Amino acid sequence: MIEVKNLHKSFGDVHILKGIDTTFEKGKTSLVIGQSGSGKTVFLKCLLGLFDYEEGSISYDGKIYKQLNEDERRNLRAEIGMVFQGSALFDSMTIAENVMFPLQMFTKQSKSEMEERVNFVLKRVNLDNAHNKMPSEASGGMQKRVAIARAIVNNPKYLFCDEPNSGLDPKTAIVIDNLIQEITDEYNITTVINSHDMNSVMEIGEKIVFLKDGHKAWEGSHKTIFKTDNEVVTDFVYSSNLFKKVRKMYLEENQ
């Protein structure tokens, strides 16, 4: 479980995160949503330890990040898996080498053990025949799946995904969403996803945190987001005509 208390982050005079409080539970897929510029990426980078923050605290299963020493932070980071928006696969390595990388860095496994684990994980993300391809030879959807495989290969406790669907067609996006959901359930990990994709919200948003101008404007789930009267959330959710129609139908059905 990840607990965030009163998180503040500024860049110079620009106050980006203005006191965020929330909790991300173990075994659940949590989504952080909001418009571009709402502070989602900065929030995620604070959770990842890539950005230092001025005020507040983040704790991972009770361990407060700022109170950890260098070695403890390093150990904590080894328990984190991250799927970047652009996949961030290492260009100079094959797909199998990319997935094997965290094992090489953090475990003392033999080569055959690592290969076995890589085969298993690549099979899990339905990429059993792509071992020797270079990332540049893989499609966007494949790259995302490799990134997921690399993120989970070392059995992380926490999985973070930054816009995992960006640049993917709707069908592939659903495949990626479902894969993240299944992996979260299977490995009982704490998953936090940054997104502004409403399909993801509907599919996998067991918990949703809505950010607006660096504040937490709303918190709920995919079951409650379509019922809320919070104007900030409805403005965002129903900015698409499709969702306006869905809401209209929903309200008509419930009248």
Partner 1 sequence: MSYLNNIGAYFLMIAEMFRKPTKWSVMKNLILKDIDDLVIGSLGIVAFISFFVGGVITIQTALNISNPLIPKYLVGFATRQSVILEFAPTFISIIMAGKVGSFITSSIGTMRVTEQIDALEVMGINALNYLVFPKTVALMLYPFIIAIGMFLGLIGGMAACVFGGYTSLEDYIIGLQTDFDTFHMIYAFIKTFIFAFVLATIPSFHGFYMKGGALEVGKASTTSFVWTAVVIILLNYILTDMMLG
Binding site for partner 1 (CB under 8 A): 48-50, 70, 73-78, 80, 82, 84-86, 88-92, 102, 104-106, 160
18 versus 77: smaller Cβ distance to partner 1: 77
Angle at 163 between CA 220 and CA 183, to 5 degrees: 75
Are 143 and 87 in contact, with CB atoms under 8 Å apart?
yes
DSSP state of 3: E
CB of 44 to partner 1, least distance (A): 10
CB of 48 to partner 1, least distance (A): 5
User: How many whole angstroms separate alpha carbon 99 and alpha carbon 18?
Assistant: 37
90 versus 120: smaller Cβ distance to partner 1: 90
13 versus 70: smaller Cβ distance to partner 1: 70
User: How many whole angstroms separate alpha carbon 135 and alpha carbon 132?
Assistant: 9
Helices (H), 79-130: 95-106, 111-124
CB of 125 to partner 1, least distance (A): 17
CB of 196 to partner 1, least distance (A): 18
13 versus 91: smaller Cβ distance to partner 1: 91
Give me the phi and psi of 21, to 5 degrees please: -125, 125
**Beta strands 158-162 and 80-83, pairing class:** parallel
